[in-house]
Amino acid sequence: MTDAEGNVYVYGVASAAERASLPDAGVAGAGVRIVEHDGLAAIVSDLDSGTLVAAREVRAHWRVIEAAAADATVLPVRFATVLAGDRAVVEQLLEPQADRLTELLRSLAGRVQLAVKGEYDEEALLREIVREAPAVKALRERVRTRPEAAAYYDRIRLGELVSGEIGRRRARDQQMALASFEGHAEASVANEPRSANGAFDLAFLVSRDKVDAFGAPVRALSETLGDRIRLRYLGPLPPYSFVDEQRAQGAPAWA
Amino acid sequence: MAVSTPSSGYIDRPRPSGLADVIEVILDKGLVIDAYVRVSLIGIEILTIDARIVIASVDTYLRFAEAVGRLNLAEADDSQGLPELMESMTSGGAKSKTSGALDAVKEKITGGDDDDGDDDEKKTPSRSRRSSGSSSGSSSSRRRKSS
């Protein structure tokens, strides 16, 4: 083990036996290498600078993870994680968490994450809401027949009602979508959709050799949903949504 | 990034060039290591803009109200039994302006999309504030299935 002087940026952890393939350059243009300890391999870059430009490094980070995860199972480490040298990588990551990392690598071996995201056609969704929610329809009429300024609070109330209706449909559609993949994945996570028109954001853990077969339920769901919800199907990804079970998700590494 | 419909049988891969998708995948997920060195991340708050701030704001309510008000519901009174008409209307209608707010957010997120266009981003202290207390992950639900 070379004991690097400076800081070390950590991308992820793989099994040393798998020999993950590494790209030439990682964050800040630095080379990508492995810090190995007891069968575990941390994928790292030496980091001279104390400042990273987020937009650029998100891409660099992803290139490394994508290359490494092409054939090997990689436990992704949260973006912008930096440790104080190789020794810290061993003493603060590989050694103390050896059991957990080894167990995760074992349970995730040969598996990838597939993402299925649904996005509402906003106009169709709003039509549906006006049609099905009498309160929205009534308030809409009221707002339409009054001057814009006079109806200000009614308009806010109308928007709030619509928001609530969207939330209810989101919950329903997410449950329906999730149920349609029953039996096709080993595990699933429903993330909160990030976009205003997002219907659901699902992550599935699927064995590499079943990735092709997973297209069938995706297509079936797409047909069921028709134009109402457009599906996007992404992957294969490293098992991002399945590595931090014991952790509160959402805390960024840089906070 | 290119968007494909699942019916084509093609799976999208998040690309470094399609920043928004990559951000969604990697930004607040992954293993957390307790002891780490703090680095300054320039422009991170731009990447962490959470569209849900927009969703729960008065501006969004007004936007929804406007969008709902703009709908042409001439046929709505006897909307039972008119699914075909509804369908042709929704597919025929021009993409409404109502997605503007969302697009604006996306633009901001993907703002520094060219590799050298990051200079306009603001400096942040290493301990960056998350723009909202809501972290997408914390509200996610999880379940295991026996395959």
* Bridge partners, residue A115, by sequence: A203, A234
Interface contact flag, B65 A254, Cβ < 8 Å: no
Residue at which a domain ends, from A94, A109, A124: A109
Task: Kindly tell me if the per-residue pLDDT of A138 is higher than 80.
Answer: yes
- Does residue A197 share a domain with residue A140? yes
| Average pLDDT of chain A to the nearest whole number | 89
Q: How far apart are CA A248 and CA B33, in angstroms?
A: 12
Extract long-range pairs of B88-94: CB within 8 Å, 24+ residues apart. B89/A127, B90/A121, B90/A123, B90/A124, B90/A127, B90/A227, B91/A227, B93/A123
Q: A20 and A65 in contact (C-beta within 8 Å)?
A: no
Nearest to A189 by CA among A234, A235, A243: A243
- Verify that A102 and A55 share a domain, yes or no: yes
pLDDT tens readout for residues A147-181 = 878 888 999 999 999 999 999 999 999 999 999 99
Q: Is residue A251 part of a domain?
A: no
Same domain, A105 and A226: no
* A129 contacts in chain B (CB < 8 Å): 68
Total of domains in chain A: 2
Domain end position, chosen among A77, A109, A141: A109
Q: Where is B141: in which H helix or E strand? A: strand B141-144
Asked if the structure places residue A102 within a domain, the reply is yes
**Candidate from A83, A122, A129 with C-beta closest to B96:** A122
Residue A236: is the preceding peptide bond cis (ω within 30°)?
yes
Residue A167 lies inside a defined structural domain of this protein? yes
| Structural domain of A93 | 7-109
Kindly state the percentage of chain B with pLDDT values over 70. Answer: 29
Distance between CA atoms of A8 and A191, rounded to whole angstroms?
Answer: 31
Looking at this protein, which amino acid is placed at residue B144?
R
The verdict on A93 and A165 lying in the same domain is: no
pLDDT at res. B104: 35
Lowest mean pLDDT among A113-117, A156-160, B17-21, B120-124: B120-124
Contact call for A55 and B3, based on CB within 8 A:
no
Give me the pLDDT at residue A136, please.
95
Name the domain boundary from A109, A124, A153: A109
The residue among A13, A107, A123, A237 with the most chain B CBs within 10 A of its CB, best to mutate, is: A123
Residue A128 lies in a domain: yes
Confidence of residue B137 (pLDDT cuts 50, 70, 90): very low
Most confident of A156-160, B69-73, B88-92: A156-160
Please check whether residues A130 and A238 belong to one and the same domain: yes
Q: What is the dihedral of CA B85, B87, B88, B94, to 10 degrees?
A: 130
Asked if residue A247 belongs to a domain, the reply is no
Residue A249 scores a pLDDT above 80: no
Residue A163 and residue A152: Cα distance in Å, rounded?
A: 17
Are A81 and A122 part of one and the same domain? Answer: no
CA distance B42 to B31: 22
Asked whether residue A34 is domain-assigned, the answer is yes
Question: Which chain B residues are closer than 8 Å to A60 by Cβ?
Answer: 16
Other beta carbons less than 10 A from residue B87's beta carbon: 14
A86 three-class SS: helix
The residue of chain A with its CA nearest to that of B146 is A186
Same domain, A97 and A117: no
Judge if A90 and A151 occupy the same domain: no
Task: For residues A102 and A128, state if they share a domain.
Answer: no
The answer to whether B126 contacts A194, with C-beta atoms less than 8 Å apart, is no
Average pLDDT, chain B: 54
Question: End-to-end CA distance of chain B, in Å?
Answer: 32
Contacts of A127 in chain B (CB under 8 A): 71, 73, 76, 86, 89-90
The 3-state secondary structure of B18-40 reads: CHHHHHHHHCCCCECCCCCCCCE
Task: Check whether residue A124 and residue A199 sit in a common domain.
Answer: yes
pTM comes to: 0.72
B39/A82 Cβ within 8 A: yes
Give the pLDDT confidence of A75-117 residue by residue, as tens digits. Answer: 999 898 999 999 999 999 999 999 999 999 999 999 999 999 9
Residue B32 reports pLDDT greater than 80: yes
Could you tell me the pLDDT band of residue B55, with boundaries at 50, 70 and 90? Answer: low
Do A87 and A160 sit in the same domain of this protein? Answer: no
Judgement on whether residues A223 and A119 belong to the same structural domain of the protein:
yes
Choose among B142, B53, B47: nearest CA to A203: B142
Of B4, B44, B73, the CB nearest to A54: B44
